[in-house]
Amino acid sequence: MRHARAQTVSVQLQLEGEMLCLRVSDDGCGFADAARSAGSSFGLVGMRERIQMLGGQLCIDSQPGEGTTITARVPLDLLPLPSPASTGALPS
């Protein structure tokens, strides 16, 4: 919010198939494609690298004067929950 000069920020976390999706949107000043691709923002570069290490992707949608939406998608390893019998837990 500090750099974007945003008044409102929306945060969504949802499951999309087998992907976990985190979407952060603001109504701030936004920025041009040139600023994003120049690699001048270490914060965005670091976010992209970390998400890619998890097998995910980072999407940035921003226009000057129109705010920004950053979407991070990472795959989930969906494992079945253990049955109560295998954990020794009593059914509730």
pTM listed for this prediction: 0.70
Average pLDDT estimate for 49-76 = 93
Instruction: Look up the CATH number of the domain holding residue 67.
Output: 3.30.565.10
Q: What is the pLDDT of residues 26-54, one digit of tens each?
A: 998 888 864 555 455 678 889 999 999 99
Mean per-residue pLDDT of the chain: 82
Number of domains forming the structure of the chain: 1
Residue 18, CA distances (Å) to 2, 14, 62, 75, 78 in order: 33, 10, 26, 6, 7
Structural domain of 61: 9-76
